Amino acid sequence: MEISYHGHSVVKIKTNGKEILIDPFIRGNGLTDLKVEEEKPDVILLTHGHGDHVGDTVELAKANNSLVVAPNELAVYLSWQGVNTHPMHIGGARQFDFGKVKFTLAFHGSSYITENNEIIYTGMPSGILFTAEDVTIYHAGDTALFGDMKLIGERNNIDVAFLPIGDNFTMGPEDAAYAVSLLKPKTVIPIHYNTFPPIQQDPNEFAKLVKDCQVQVLSAGEFVKL
């Protein structure tokens, strides 16, 4: 399995002959190395409905006949736009041919803002547990720190955790470091930082706060193999 980071909260997983994109915010993401027209995802996993996470999902999914797995209300909204979706919700898990997906709690908002200044509710936000090839990945989305991360850590043997550190909209470095102590992953990779002025952070300072866990600070396009 190859797991790569592509700026902001974009993660790509290659496993079981499939390519999976999580939260594919590409256009407008000044930190990514990806180009929409070059990406061919088989599957897109979404944590919530904010524009910097749904990103280019509709264009990518239509161009590649991708399956989009998302929280129920967001999945329904995207299906109205002609996208092939599979709705799920927090606490639910499903085994697909590319791996197992389970949605977890996350504490923040989830909505889509239209060009007409309308706010469309897209259901509860979530984190994602993805398991394939005996590897478990946790993508926390935009969450705040919350106590049930301890349960997530106790009930799942997390190999790699992607945690936001940007502060302002999500956990900051201190809370994210405490989240690591609850989740107990083997490796943590910081995400959701430096894309916009309000979320400027030094990931190496975050790394100094983390105890008893390997921290890998990845630049866009860098990857780990498991």
Question: Which sequence spans correspond to the domains of the chain?
Answer: 2-218
CA distance 209 to 176: 9
CA distances 109 to 47, 95, 170, Å, are 11, 27, 10
User: So what's the pLDDT on residue 40?
Assistant: 98
Whether the Cβ atoms of residue 147 and residue 158 lie closer than 8 Å to each other: no
127 closest CA partner among 181, 94, 89:
89
The H or E element containing residue 204 is: helix 203-209
CA distance 27 to 36: 7
Whether the Cβ atoms of residue 197 and residue 167 lie closer than 8 Å to each other: no
pLDDT tens-place string over residues 114-157: 889 999 999 999 999 999 999 999 999 999 999 999 999 999 99
Q: What is the pTM of this model?
A: 0.97
Residues of the chain with pLDDT under 70: none
Whether the Cβ atoms of residue 3 and residue 186 lie closer than 8 Å to each other: no
Relative to beta strand 2-5, strand 11-15 is antiparallel
User: So what's the pLDDT on residue 109?
Assistant: 95
Q: How far apart are the first and last CA of the chain?
A: 5
The H or E element containing residue 181 is: helix 173-183
Q: Which CATH class is domain 2-218?
A: alpha beta
Burial class (CB in 10 A: 0-12, 13-18, 19+), 95: exposed
- What is the residue whose two structure tokens read 């027209």? 37
User: So what's the pLDDT on residue 115?
Assistant: 87
